[in-house]
Amino acid sequence: MFPLPVYATQALHGLVNGMLLFLVSSGLTLVFGMMGILNIAHAAFYMLGAYLAYTTVQVTGHFWLSLAVAPVVVGLLGAAVERWLLRRTHAFGHAYELLLTFGLFFMIQEAVRWIWGNYPLQVPVPAELAGSVPFAGGRYPAYRLFILGVSAVICLGMALVLLRTRIGIIIRSAVSDAEMVSALGVNTPLVSLGVFSAGSALAAVAGVIAAPFLQADPAMGAGILTDAFVVIVIGGFGSLLGALLASLMIGQLQSFGILWFPQLALVFQFMLMAGVLILRPQGLFGEKG
């Protein structure tokens, strides 16, 4: 139906989109696994990251600086949200924590429109990565390969931290039994604060990386929200490996879905999700919900 290089390009395209989606959902999954909170404001943090990248480039002219600025600003914001808002809501139950982050999502999204305007802003691709490289008989934009590389590095880094360090051990054990961990002398509120802050910072990194590719767009938060939800449902709540696999599946599905059944492009991920839930309600790697 299509020549082979088209498939290769679509597959790479799907891989790039999938890894970007993973970058967003990984922070969400981390926080959910640790604290049981589905942080809806995560999508707003992602969007905020993209806009901070825009402003950093505008003010300083350096794209790479925004990779430091955005995670720090958003990470601090996340820490404040955890410390002063979520911790107070904890006693009301998870439903109210979810609703609180939802209210924050609205506030941040509208604040971004207020500050930066209700239209997409172009963030230029950094000069070092502006070109393209030969791929499958054609050329492929270098920046997209950079997205792929960064996502892979962060993915590996997270795996290393979680599996090979002392902090990772504490986080993983706090996921399964926070009370016991705090009885062993670990300051679990501090761990929660750190994880939430780190998750928020990850969202900002994803936003920065996405900005030259997708622009800083006032609708990008709402847009990524349902996709990230689908990812964590398919992958299994709180499972990073599941989130990775699900992101890659959705990336390919959307990439090839658009090629073959363009009119169904919006519903592929939901069909996949429905299928997974019927066969395996707890998701690919999730524990019983």
Partner 1 sequence: MSQRRLGMAAAVAALYALPWVLDTVRLRMAIEILYFGLFAVSFNLLFGYAGLLSFGHAATFGVGGYTLGLVLRHVEGASVPLALLAAAAAGGLAGLVIGFFCVRLRGTYFALLTLAFSQFLFAVALKWREVTRGDDGLSVSVPDLALPGGLVLRLGQAPHFYWLALTVVLLALGAAWRFTRTPLGNAVVLMRENDERAAFLGYNVFGTKLIVFTFAAVLAAVAGALFAAFQRLISPSALDLPMSTEVVFMAILGGTGAFLGPFLGAAVYMLIQNWLSEATEHWPFFIGLLFVLMILYAHQGLTGLLGRQGPLRRRWTARRLPAEEPA
Asked whether 256 and 8 are in contact (CB, 8 A), the reply is no
Region 150-179 residues binding partner 1, contact defined as CB under 8 A: none
Residue at 57: amino acid letter: V
Region 76-95 residues binding partner 1, contact defined as CB under 8 A: 85, 88-95
Binder among 103, 124, 131, 137 for partner 1 (CB under 8 A): 103
- Of 148 and 222, the one with the shorter C-beta distance to partner 1 is 222
Q: What's the min distance (Å) between Cβ of 250 and partner 1?
A: 13
- Of 151 and 239, the one with the shorter C-beta distance to partner 1 is 239
Binder among 68, 169, 184, 267 for partner 1 (CB under 8 A): 267
Asked whether 233 and 282 are in contact (CB, 8 A), the reply is no
280: contact with partner 1 by CB under 8 A: no
- Of 15 and 24, the one with the shorter C-beta distance to partner 1 is 24
* Coil vs helix vs strand at 186: coil
- Of 184 and 277, the one with the shorter C-beta distance to partner 1 is 277
- With tokens 């926070």, the residue in question is 178
- What is the distance between the alpha carbons of residues 205 and 71, in angstroms, rounded to a whole number? 6
- What is the distance between the alpha carbons of residues 162 and 25, in angstroms, rounded to a whole number? 16
Asked whether 70 and 64 are in contact (CB, 8 A), the reply is no
7: contact with partner 1 by CB under 8 A: no
* Coil vs helix vs strand at 220: helix
270: contact with partner 1 by CB under 8 A: yes
Number of residues that bind partner 1 (CB under 8 A): 47
96: contact with partner 1 by CB under 8 A: yes
- For 236, phi then psi, to 5°, come to 100, 130
Q: What's the min distance (Å) between Cβ of 106 and partner 1?
A: 3
Cβ-Cβ contacts under 8 Å for 63 (sequence gap 6 or more): 53, 56, 57, 123, 124, 126, 212
106: contact with partner 1 by CB under 8 A: yes
Residue at 251: amino acid letter: G
Residue 138: strand pairing partners: 135
104: contact with partner 1 by CB under 8 A: yes
119: contact with partner 1 by CB under 8 A: no
* Coil vs helix vs strand at 239: coil
End-to-end CA distance of the chain: 42
289: contact with partner 1 by CB under 8 A: yes
Cβ-based burial of 275 (10 A; exposed 0-12, middle 13-18, buried ≥19): exposed
Q: What's the min distance (Å) between Cβ of 46 and partner 1?
A: 16
98: contact with partner 1 by CB under 8 A: yes
Q: Which one of the spans 60-68, 169-177, 209-217, 229-237 is the region binding partner 1 (CB under 8 A)?
A: 229-237
Q: What's the min distance (Å) between Cβ of 269 and partner 1?
A: 9
229: contact with partner 1 by CB under 8 A: yes
* Coil vs helix vs strand at 261: coil
Footprint on this chain of partner 1 (rule: CB under 8 A): 32, 36, 38, 85, 88-96, 98-100, 102-107, 109-111, 113-114, 222, 225-226, 229-230, 232-233, 237, 263-264, 266-267, 270-271, 273-274, 277-278, 281, 289
